[in-house]
Structure 1
């Protein structure tokens, strides 16, 4: 599972990184070292304009979306808090994700992500959750594989500009390398050479799309223990990713996420 992550790059930096000619950002998101579900996050996606002629190429955009996917058929937005992740093993067949996987894929830029490991406190014998910041060894931005979806408020007026909500989710898989020592699941990423294919809304081959997904940073990850201050979503700032010393204790085996 990926329940928190870090996203500090600005729109100009992301536009260069993901080859976006016009970011079209009116209200830039502030850097966040504690991105939490239902927060707005940066997403890279491709869309074809409604008034475009047949066969017109899609245009790449940088958009702020709400994290926690709300399917188009949902009665309200509350389901989004439970759909922050989509398991790669079933993403192509689950009703909440299968349409988005076929037509609405995106990249979610991240500096890294947090996972928690249950550890035994040597002083009390009780277990506690120790957060770790998992990031690329070279600190390059990760392009996490995501999906996005449009939802319209059924109670909104016909011409209400706020009626539409665009949300997203992160695709996850079994964890390996440094992340696997902390938690059994981890987000998937898309390599730069596969950005075009992953974002292309005309590509619908499920198997070929799944083949584009890989471990973040090619699996070359580092995980360092950080302060439990990250547990509180109100805390933010670069101090959250600074390494801390963890008392020697026995780590309990990672537990699996609930199925999504």
Structure 2
């Protein structure tokens, strides 16, 4: 499960890191949540950072207001589900982030953790995207979902799933490149190296997406 993350890196550093340019001004997000428009790089436009809505609405959906809008897709079963298999072949994306949140179940209740790379650098989740056409207006509505996998050693004590973080720039480029076999794409969907990550407990302000400020990132007191 990955239901909340952050991306607060300044735009010039993001553009240099991912060799892509923002399509529109994008404020930092300390508490990204489903249904928000968030920075993504698609295989169709690898030189552009676009804002897509989080929560996948398939192109074949009759009514985007009804039905499920999956925010996550399991890496292990992508090729088994026709809708995800098509997107794996044709519509892959990088979801840009610098950390994510997960809630650990404890006897005292759920405890939120922030997980990031040890060097605090930005990274990319592996994602899938699609776009739904409103035939009444001709407007396209692009959306995305984040792929998850088994937890690494760091995450195993917090949750039984973790988002797929692509391991390096070469893996990101391979994920965006068209023309590979489905098993080649799936081979990229591995748990990130635990030794290269760190985590800490944050306060419960992160529980509400309405709290979208730097205080959400702060370690919990006490």
Pick the structure with more helix per residue: 2
1:1-260 maps to which residues of 2 (within 5 A)?
A: 1-20=1-20, 23=21, 25=23, 27-47=24-44, 60-78=47-65, 82-121=69-108, 128-154=109-135, 156-157=136-137, 160=138, 163-190=139-166, 191-203=168-180, 205-216=181-192, 218-219=193-194, 220-245=196-221
Deviation for aligned residue 1:166: 0.5
Contact 2:15–2:22 (8 Å) recurs in 1: no
Deviation for aligned residue 1:24: 5.3
| Count of residue correspondences | 220
Deviations 1:60-98 (A, max 9, x none): 321111111111111222468641000001112223311
SS in 2 for 1:38: coil
SS in 2 for 1:183: coil
Contact 2:150–2:191 (8 Å) recurs in 1: no
Structure showing greater radius of gyration is: 1
Please provide the CA RMSD for this pair: 1.8
Deviations 1:141-170 (A, max 9, x none): 12110111111124x23xx4xx21001110
The structure-2 alpha-carbon separation of the partners of 1:238 and 1:188, relative to structure 1 and needing over 3 Å to count, comes to same
Give ranges in structure 1 of 5+ residues lacking alignment: 49-58, 122-127, 247-260
The structure-2 alpha-carbon separation of the partners of 1:135 and 1:79, relative to structure 1 and needing over 3 Å to count, comes to farther
Structure 1 stretches of 4+ moved >6 Å:
none
User: Aligned partners of 1:223, 1:180: CA distance in 2, in Å?
Assistant: 12
User: Aligned partners of 1:84, 1:78: CA distance in 2, in Å?
Assistant: 15
SS in 2 for 1:138: coil
User: Aligned partners of 2:204, 2:68: CA distance in 1, in Å?
Assistant: 22
The structure-2 alpha-carbon separation of the partners of 1:37 and 1:176, relative to structure 1 and needing over 3 Å to count, comes to same
SS in 2 for 1:193: helix
The structure-2 alpha-carbon separation of the partners of 1:228 and 1:80, relative to structure 1 and needing over 3 Å to count, comes to farther
